[in-house]
Amino acid sequence: MTLETTINDQLFTMHSSGALFWNEKNTLLIADVHLGKVTHFRKNGFAIPNDALHKNFEKLIDIVDFFNASTILFLGDLFHSTKNSEWDLFVEWSKECTCELVLIAGNHDIIDSNNYESNGIQVVEYLRMDDFLLTHHPTEIEGMFNFSGHIHPGIVLRGLGRGHLKLPCFFQRKHQMILPAFGAFTGLGIMKPREGDSIFAVTKDEIVLIKKAEN
């Protein structure tokens, strides 16, 4: 279910939900939840099961309970588009959540920040914490290690014949880690690793190291 890694002398725990726990800060990093996307597509005639609507909230509740985090940093695309019925569910969840909530705004986060801030949720463009840079889009700044989302990274595992399996992954380069999408109804951006990259595939129940960077 989890796998630990050390970055810049800090301990991070990858979870099979797609969340990353920063142990020293007691903080959860979560990317690309895309709340509202299920309702948006159902309104447009897509036959998406109704239970998919609640999966994101169930995952949020479970992951906060699992780590007992004090803070959640959403790395962008928390809400998919404009307000719909899922906004009310989110507000209800946020009021019950005891964590400090911070949204690093992504390209899909078009809801006015006043709506978040009136519910006690801080909205920022990026965060610098120690020698870490937290953004939505992958960003390279000299001397900083970047955590981001946006890409919805995935990996293709090929078996015998034409068999293959697509899985989300934590995708790490020397100064960067891109988190998998947390949302239950999101696609994958298949990554093409190069020398020095590390790939941690996410299955339903565990994190699997597929490729480790050579030191």
Higher pLDDT, 79 or 134: 134
Pairing of strands 145-148, 27-30: unpaired
Residue 41 pLDDT > 60, yes or no? no
pLDDT at residue 10 in the model: 98
pLDDT at residue 157 in the model: 86
Q: Which residues does 182 contact at the CB level (< 8 Å), separation at least 6?
A: 17, 18, 19, 30, 31, 32, 33, 56, 59
Mean pLDDT, the chain, integer: 88
DSSP summary character for residue 70: S
- CA distance linking residue 200 with residue 180, whole number of Å: 10
Residue 43 pLDDT > 60, yes or no? no
Mean pLDDT value of segment 129-149: 97
With residue 215 as reference, give the H or E element that holds it. none
pLDDT at residue 182 in the model: 94
> Cβ distance 63 to 15 under 8 Å?
yes
- CA distance linking residue 2 with residue 4, whole number of Å: 7
- pLDDT one-digit tens code per residue, 101-123: 999 999 888 899 999 999 999 99
Residue 68, CB half-sphere, CA atoms under 13 Å: how many? 1
Higher pLDDT, 187 or 101: 101
- CA distance linking residue 98 with residue 21, whole number of Å: 16
> CATH topology for 2-211?
Purple Acid Phosphatase; chain A, domain 2 (3.60.21)
Structural domain spans, the chain: 2-211
Residue 52 pLDDT > 90, yes or no? no
What is the maximum span of the chain, computed from C-alpha positions, in angstroms?
55
What global pTM score does this model have? 0.91
Residue 2's CB is within 10 A of a number of other CB atoms, namely: 14
By three-state DSSP, how is residue 56 classified? Answer: helix
